Amino acid sequence: MDENKIKDAVRMIIEAIGENPEREGLAETPDRIARMYTEIFSGLKEKPEEHLKKVFTVNNDDIVLEKDIQFYSMCEHHFMPFYGKAHVAYIPNGKVVGLSKLARTVEAFAKRLQLQERMTVQIADSIMDYLEVKGAMVVIEAEHMCMTMRGIKKPGSKTVTVATRGIFKNKIEFRNEVYEMIKIR
């Protein structure tokens, strides 16, 4: 991450909108934004598969669901946040991963310039590829600030995306079971 380039760019944006980048309230803004970008785009340096290496042997193939994983991401179209919950389910094939590792996988993909649709697929594909499970299903529901504070201005509207892999692709009863599990409060 080139924080100096980010600072220069932010100064240019401040000037371009007609503000003074040296004004008291704005003088440190380029530095704050550069540090923020380093944090919120930290997933660019991560390999999500690293989180899926710590596994434990099991003798069952019941659905595992980690639900309500809060995430924040940045839309690549408008550089505005979108945020919400990810629900990650899989059917083990002799091994399970530590539950925190599913949340870390979601975070690794969320902390990049992203599209919700792509992020949903990336999480599902990673679980299939690196856990070698019988099936994976990812449901993401998110609110997009580009829909809330600009353009159509519809606060509270949510986008829901789903990716199914393996046994979830062909067995509607498994998908329905995950949907029911997500609803349990």
Annotated binding site: 75, 78, 146
∠ CA 172-175-176, rounded to 5°? 85
- Which ranges in the chain belong to alpha helices (H)? 3-16, 29-40, 99-110, 116-131, 145-148, 167-170, 172-183
> Are the beta carbons of 116 and 142 closer than 8 angstroms?
yes
Catalytic residue among 22, 78, 87, 114: 78
Catalytic residue among 87, 107, 114, 144: 144
Catalytic residue among 51, 107, 116, 122: 116
Catalytic residue among 15, 22, 70, 77: 77
* Structure tokens given for 27: 């003088």
Annotated binding site for Zn(2+): 75, 78, 146
3-state secondary structure of 103: helix
Catalytic residue among 22, 50, 76, 117: 76
Determine whether 116 is an active site residue. Answer: yes
Distances, alpha carbon 176 to alpha carbons 9, 39, 137, 181, in Å: 48, 36, 11, 9
Determine whether 146 is an active site residue. Answer: yes
The amino acid at residue 133 is V
How far, in Å, CA of 41 to CA of 39, rounded?
6
Catalytic residue among 75, 107, 114, 122: 75
Determine whether 77 is an active site residue. Answer: yes
Give the active site residues: 75-78, 116, 144, 146
